[in-house]
Amino acid sequence: MRAGRLRHRLQLQQKAKTRDLDSGEFIDSWQTQVTVWAEIEPANASEFIESSATQAQITAKITIRFRPGLDSANWRGEHKGTIYKFEGPPMPDPRSGRKYLLIMASTGVSDGS
C-alpha cells in the first residue's frame, strides 16, 4: 500500500462504559483511542447491492495500516464529523495479512452502535 493513498485522518473510537455524573448509572460512550491515516472510499454499486441482501448498507470502504485488536463490535471510525460503523470484522491484506486492513463500513447511524 502506498502511503499517498492514506490521506484521511481517521479517529478510531472504542466503546466504553462511563459513569454518568448526575445519575451514577453506567452508560455507553465512545472514546478516541488513536488517530490513524486511512483511505476512505465510497463503496461501488455492486458492493452496495450485495450489502442490501444483508441487514447492513455498506457505504464506504476504509483501508488502514495493520493494527491488531480491532473488531466491529466495539470500534467505529470518525472522519470530519462522519461516523463510520464497522460492518463485520476488518479483513487483512491477502498477501501477508499484516500490512493493512480493509474495513467495510456504513454511515448515517446516530452513534455507530
Domains of the chain: 3-17+27-106 (2.40.10.270)
pLDDT number for residue 97: 87
pLDDT number for residue 69: 87
DSSP characters over 69-92:
T--TTTEEEEETTEEEEE-SPPEE
Q: What is the pTM of this model?
A: 0.80
- How confident is the prediction for the chain on average, in pLDDT? 85
When pLDDT is cut at 50, 70 and 90, the band that residue 76 belongs to is very high
Residues 6+ apart with CB under 8 A from 14: 30, 31, 33, 74, 75
pLDDT number for residue 8: 97
When pLDDT is cut at 50, 70 and 90, the band that residue 73 belongs to is confident
pLDDT number for residue 46: 55
> Is a pLDDT exceeding 80 seen at residue 90?
yes
Instruction: Give per-residue pLDDT as tens, 34-69.
Output: 999 999 999 875 555 454 445 568 889 999 999 998
> Is a pLDDT exceeding 90 seen at residue 78?
yes
Residue 39 CB neighbours (<10 A): 18
